[in-house]
Amino acid sequence: MELLFLVLLSLHILKTEALGHWCYQSQKHELPNCEDPRKWYLINNTCKGNKQSPINIVTKNVIYDRSLKPLNFEGYNVKGSSKWNLENNGHTVKATFSTSPKIGGGGLRRKYKAIELHFHWGVEDIHYLPGSEHSIDGEKAAMELHIVHIREDLSDITEAKKNEDGVAVLAFFIEVGDENKKYATLINELDNVKYKGKTGQMNPLPLDSLIPREEDLTRYYRYTGSLTTPDCHENVIWTVFEKPVELSLAQVSQFSVVLFGGKNSTRMIENFRPVQLLNDRSVYWSGTSPLLPPAKVLMLVPILTYVLSSLFQ
């Protein structure tokens, strides 16, 4: 009887562990029993909610919102005196900070303090295959940076999740372009957190050194969504900026030296969640016209040039 009990207990533990471990699709061949994004709802039922992230932003459907003024960035230009804690948590590379730069304005009803940042990326093939989580009109970028904030009056992310307006995330696309020397300090530390569970400390950076200039951050999209990993907590206030960050191909590729697990495990690649249904949500835009976001204006320039040249022939 005692032996039977031990066997049943072991089976229960194994089953619980199998159901309790989530992963990305890129990990399935190494961890066939883990739950990929299609089955994250088995980890947490919220993952099949109606307000999930990321989404594909369809620019022709966005709603202009005059309240979406430029955000106020407080302390984003301050380096800080405490080191950042860098971690490979088996799903991404995450940096947490003890200082609390803040954001406000921009249609936010409260101020929010930054607590951590992390990245999502793709994989280098012949060219670098995109790995951003959000997309605009179906187009994805090479990577995506998320800076996670919680309401300034709350103590931590657990407390923030108990409040409907507790969490706000800023999302920045990262595209392949010129080398960005401001990222050198962070990228040089990646080899020190190569394996899952590895942690380290790095010299702090001003957060504004990792994102576009403040004057380039006036155009953004706003919607209510969720965290993009289990528990997929909803009611997250998302701000997705149009202006991308540029990193060189070598810099982007450096993120793939990190591994999902220990030695000889799979390279950490394609660590993004597929886009989710928008359902009955609306996406708001901070621009001056709901009809012509900047991408559309740029597309019209050659057409207008051709029409005008034809008129004067």
| 149 class by beta-carbon count within 10 Å (0-12 exposed, 13-18 middle, 19+ buried) | buried
C-alpha span between 101 and 196 (Å, rounded): 28
Closest CA to 150 of 199, 200, 116: 116
Closest CA to 287 of 210, 221, 225: 221
Would you give the end-to-end CA distance of the chain in angstroms?
97
C-alpha span between 179 and 254 (Å, rounded): 12
Residue 294 token pair: 């900047």
- Cβ pair 265, 30 in contact under 8 A: yes
Catalytic residue among 12, 21, 29, 91: 91
The yes-or-no answer on residue 149 being catalytic is no
The sign one gets for the Cα dihedral 187, 149, 120, 70 is: negative
C-alpha span between 311 and 313 (Å, rounded): 6
Segments in the chain forming alpha helices (H): 2-20, 157-160, 184-188, 249-254, 294-311
3-state SS of 127-153 is CEECCCCCEECCECCCEEEEEEEEECC
Q: Show which residues are catalytic.
A: 91
